[in-house]
Amino acid sequence: MTDASRSAPRSAGGTLAVAAAGTALVLVAFTAPLATLPATAAAVHAGPGGQAWILSGMSVGCAAGLLGAGALGDDHGRRRTLLAGVLLLAAASLLGAAAPDALVLIVARILQGLGGAAILACSLGLIGHVYPDGPQRARATGIWGAALGAGVAAGPFLALGLQAVGGWRVLYVATALAALLLCVAGRVWLPASPPARRRPVDVAGTVLLGLGLAVVLAGLVQGRTGWTGPLTLGLFTAGLLLVAGFVVVEHRRADAMFDLTLLGRRDFTAALVAALAAGAGVLSLASFTPIIVERGLGGSALAGVAAMLAWSGLSALTPLAAGRLSRWITPRGQLVAGLLGCAAGQLALMGLHPHSPVARLLPGLLLAGAANGVLNAALGRQAVSSVPADRTAMGSGANNTARYLGSAIGLALVTVLISHGTTPPAVLAGWNHAVLATAACSLAGALIVLFTRDRATTVPGPARRRLEPAAQAS
């Protein structure tokens, strides 16, 4: 029985509600350990390396699964794939709640990432399916972008509150229960999105890319404890070889999961570059705000989370108004403006010293948060508007893969710069260097997007196909 035979048509509003709620839930699960890491690490006996994996395991799972989940959704049903991801998130969260040691918890975090990948890719793909390009889609992707910020804002606060009630494991139980409720809502409200043509599953491409990205990200995580160690170098080498194998396979396959000819499109490439720059820039820097407040400025854990809320809160609010910008500014212009605003906010976070008040962070965080919200809305729209209409989940998966890969690179960079010292002055000196490095990523992304130009598609062989995108959005 197909998705279509089981599902009656549902309202676009119901689809948007489930898509936004699922996106927010994934980001809650992603950011919550930032607030409960000390208690979690003590309970599962995790050292510095284990703690890095607890924080980054979900990124590894997401990056490994996003593009494959998007392609699977486009080819075999976005509703079905999203609901499978929700159930995997629920099961992985229960495993995390029962984890007896660090290894099991890390496995649970990676599995949470794989489930979250299906949700993120197919939620935006479903929005692209039910909303036509134009003001309606701009508004819907703005709400989806707001859900990203809302999840980031709510995660640490929920984690602290639930930890106070019953310990850090309660958050994982609550995540599982929320996922099960979301699954019920999805079965009721999500429409079927039957593929225009059912492609065979690209097993080789899915495995090569998923493993390749997972191994590269594993190298970035492992590198935080030493960049020249044989394990770190081996992971990078193996990951790059797997990704190279993926390119070769996709180049030769007629029904590839990722159409290489899309890289010849300005709007698609610009969106990938912007997502990568956002991850390596503002996302990685803002994620360290609670740590800097505690270790550099001597504030409490609650003060650190509250400071981060200044960034994530505005990231949740500005996308709601960003849809109106599409009347006056092109999507590419919004990407450039968002990245420049993020860079300006990041640079405003420089110059901290041990006697700086926590409030000193607020102007920069507020500016970066507002710009990041505009950027999220534009990225959500471009992810589905820059690909053919039957590949919207794949487009979402590719865009979010770039975001998570950039975030992993940025987090590794910021960690190295900050961890050079243990005293507050040394930590803050590392922070100031990290601000410059991540702001450079945002500025570089803005310049590349600004000067990206269409080029002729010259990919030979079976990968060549005529592209008929849903809209010429740039």
- Give the pLDDT confidence of 410-469 residue by residue, as tens digits: 888 888 888 777 789 999 999 999 999 999 999 999 999 999 865 443 333 343 343 444
What pLDDT band is residue 56 in, cutting at 50, 70 and 90? confident
**In this predicted structure, what is the pLDDT of residue 474?**
34
Q: How far apart are CA 319 and CA 141, in angstroms?
A: 8
What pTM was estimated for this model as a whole? 0.83
Q: Classify the C-alpha dihedral 128-132-134-137 as positive or negative.
A: negative
Q: Classify the C-alpha dihedral 107-78-279-459 as positive or negative.
A: positive
Q: How far apart are CA 424 and CA 405, in angstroms?
A: 29
What pLDDT band is residue 326 in, cutting at 50, 70 and 90? low
Query: 324: which residues sit within 8 A by CB, 6+ positions away?
Result: none
CB-hemisphere CA count at 13 Å for 405?
A: 24
**In this predicted structure, what is the pLDDT of residue 411?**
81
pLDDT tens for 96-142 read 999 999 999 999 999 999 999 999 999 988 998 888 888 888 889 89
469 forms beta bridges with: 388
Cβ distance 197 to 118 under 8 Å?
no
Residue 331 has pLDDT above 80, yes or no: yes
Q: How far apart are CA 130 and CA 19, in angstroms?
A: 12
What pLDDT band is residue 409 in, cutting at 50, 70 and 90? confident
The residue type at 252: R
DSSP state of 388: B
pLDDT tens for 5-44 read 343 334 789 999 999 999 999 999 999 888 888 899 999 9
What pLDDT band is residue 196 in, cutting at 50, 70 and 90? low
388 forms beta bridges with: 469
Could you count the other beta carbons within 10 Å of the beta carbon of residue 9? 9
The residue type at 443: L
Burial class (CB within 10 angstroms; exposed 0-12, middle 13-18, buried 19+) of 453: exposed
CA–CA distance from 427 to each of 76, 146, 310, 383, 440 (Å)? 49, 32, 22, 37, 20
Q: How far apart are CA 343 and CA 246, in angstroms?
A: 33
The residue type at 469: P
Q: What is the mean pLDDT of residues 178-183?
A: 97
**In this predicted structure, what is the pLDDT of residue 228?**
83
Q: How far apart are CA 217 and CA 52, in angstroms?
A: 12
Could you count the other beta carbons within 10 Å of the beta carbon of residue 38? 12
**In this predicted structure, what is the pLDDT of residue 456?**
40
Tokens matching residue 463:
């990968």
Among 77, 87, 84, CA closest to 126: 77
**In this predicted structure, what is the pLDDT of residue 9?**
39
**In this predicted structure, what is the pLDDT of residue 404?**
85
Cβ distance 173 to 97 under 8 Å?
yes
Q: Higher confidence at residue 92 or residue 384?
A: 92
The full set of domains in the chain, from first to last, is 10-455 (1.20.1250.20)
Minimum mean pLDDT range among 205-219, 273-287, 443-457: 443-457
